[in-house]
A and B are shown apart, each in its own frame.
Chain A
Amino acid sequence: MTKLLQLTNVSAGYDREVVLRDVNFAVNERDFIGVIGPNGGGKTTLIKIILNLLNPLQGTVERFGATNGSFTGYLPQQSHIDKKFPIRVLDIVLSGLMSEKNRFERYSVADKQKVMDLLRRMGIENLALRTTSELSGGQLQRVFISRALIASPKLLILDEPNTYVDNRFESDLYELLSELNKNMAIMIVSHDVGTISYFVKTIACVNRTLHYHLSNVITEEQLTAYNCPLQIITHGDVPHTVLQKHDHHHD
């Protein structure tokens, strides 16, 4: 089990407010971590620390093997993009290959073919030459998911990928993620604890600090103990005992 990432005693925050305290957390190859927690608990902040978009106030972040190629692929929760920016979908997805290329290297026909294949997989290959202003919210979300996936990163981080998209795509996506997980570690932020526990392996509860739960089955009592009071909504009439069968218990 190769370690990809290690956070040691990390505290993080903005301006005067400390959002996360004393986070100790590691990600290993082929981990599949569901990140849950209340609004404002610090999930997105944790991700920004991992991606080096925010410097920790205290503690260390170590990334192993981040020197060559794409280490992370990232789907932001909210992109602060200008929807009228003159860029084609094809180029947005190509930008996911940015750290694989040196600055002078051109993007090849093979790169573009790779983008087209991925867009087909996402069901939006007909949109490749459109610009962002011509897309719906869910279509744009699929474009950003493609951008996160294109480089086959070592660690894929998705911050609420299920917003905007329809439930058909959502279940397709989860299936795809389970398959991708054979080759990469995945962290997925979601408020839908019931659904993600079907396919994640472990759960990280983030509320001002991080409690790592080494199983994909979690009860509301445990959540309360982790200071993460969330409701678990099981979809349809899937009882909790069924969840137990999918348990990948780590001990």
Chain B
Amino acid sequence: MIDPISGIFAYSFLRHATEAAFLSSISCGIIGAYIVARRMVFISGGITHASFGGIGLGYFLGLNPLLGAAFFSILTALGIRLASKRSEIREDSAIGILWSLGMAIGIIFIFLTPGYAPNLMTYLFGSILTVTPIDLYLMAGLAVFTLLLFTVFYRTILFISFDEEYARSHNAPVETVNYLLLALVALVIVLHIRVAGIILVISYLTIPQTTANIFVSDLKKIMFLSVIISFLGSMSGLIISYYLNIPSGATIIFVFVLIFLVARLFKSLQTRGHMQRSLQDGA
């Protein structure tokens, strides 16, 4: 895939990749912080994998697989919430069921589709180097929408996320906000399947955020720092993968984890120094 024969081609796909990295850092940085804060990592994993059913359906019907994925992911997200709200099924059990159901549907449809499924690997592992201008427009729209939503309604979202019952006692639109954001989580996941793949997309939504949380513990700051870490990580991963000629998606995640470990180490050294100083001051 990485074969920069022509400088102009190399330039344009790297430029697209850079733009994709920038846009995904904004959407995934912000939405990922929301996911991590509300402990929605598992439901996000379920949504991601269940969307494979939509990809299979897309192949089978000859439609754009991402359209099928969008449909399946939103359906799964709502299904999980409704199943755990309206019946005795606990949420994590509902996730387990719909997660595997979606994957099973995908496998069956791909099997039933005559011929072979082109680009199946891109949907599984993603490739930031193959994003098309249309993908970029969609990602830009999503990034702008996410940014606007969280700028205008930040405190409403924060208060509802922190204590739903209290928000309800103040007549806040708890259900509306919860479902809207759940749908947004599903959309962010689907649009980034192109970039990171079903298997790796969750990393964009959790690793930069957990790293940010080492240094700051206010949701707004976690969002801001996650965007920065995500962009720096994606760009360094992209450049490293280009020179080492290894898959970009996996390299980016490797870099994310590396940043996380360095940050963790830095923080514990800092804390230890701080502790020693305060102990000495006390003596």
Contacts and interface: CB of A to CB of B under 8 A. Distances in A.
Interface stretch (B90-98, B195-203, B211-219): B211-219
SS of B interface (majority): helix
B167 A95 contact: yes
B166 A76 contact: yes
B163 interface: yes
B155 A91 contact: yes
A88 B221 CA distance: 11
B213 A86 contact: yes
A117 to B, nearest CB: 20
Interface in B35-64: 37-39
Contacts of B166: 74, 76, 79, 95, 147
Contacts of A103: 153, 156
Interface in B162-195: 162-163, 165-172
B170 A53 contact: no
Majority DSSP secondary structure for residues of A touching B: loop
A87 B158 contact: yes
Interface string A98-109: 110001100100
Contacts, number: 69
A88 B218 contact: yes
A45 interface: no
B contact residues, range: 20 to 34
Interface in B212-266: 213, 217-219, 222
A99 to B, nearest CB: 4
Interface of B: 37-39, 152-153, 155-156, 158-159, 161-163, 165-172, 213, 217-219, 222
Given A52-B168, A133-B217, 8 more contacts: A52-B169, A53-B169, A81-B162, A85-B162, A86-B213, A86-B218, A86-B219, A98-B170
24 contacts: A51-B169, A53-B165, A72-B169, A74-B166, A74-B169, A80-B163, A82-B39, A82-B162, A85-B38, A85-B161, A87-B162, A87-B219, A91-B155, A91-B162, A92-B162, A92-B163, A94-B155, A95-B155, A95-B159, A95-B170, A98-B170, A98-B172, A103-B153, A107-B155
